[in-house]
Amino acid sequence: MTIEKSLVDGKLTLKVSGRLDTNTSPDLLAALKCDGATSVEFDFADLEYISSAGLRVLMAAQRSVMEGNGKVTIARPNEMVRGVLDMTGLSSVFEIV
């Protein structure tokens, strides 16, 4: 898994490629720590799949931005990732674009 990180006007964008699972999710969690970010967008265009460990990172991001009324956006998930979000009820929690 690789992460491309960018912060523009308080919006943290994390482009995640590869697999987000129990082994890689700690890296993503670490990448979330960013001063001045009020909202987070996960770009999952190149994400193969996500496991519950990855979902936990998404939820952790949600919690951290909720304090500042920010929001978490999930961009361009593939069918597989979308399915996971759907089946776990998380597609209603995050804004999916």
Q: Which residues bind another protein (CB under 8 A)?
A: 19, 21-23, 48-53, 55-56, 59, 62-63, 66, 80, 83-84, 87-90, 93-94
Q: What are phi and psi of 44, to 5 degrees?
A: -100, 20
Nearer to another protein, 48 or 75 (CB): 48
d(CA 25, CA 66): 20
Residue 27: CB minimum distance to another protein, A: 12
d(CA 24, CA 53): 9
Residue 31: CB minimum distance to another protein, A: 18
Nearer to another protein, 6 or 45 (CB): 45
Spatial contact of 88 and 59, defined as CB atoms under 8 Å apart: no
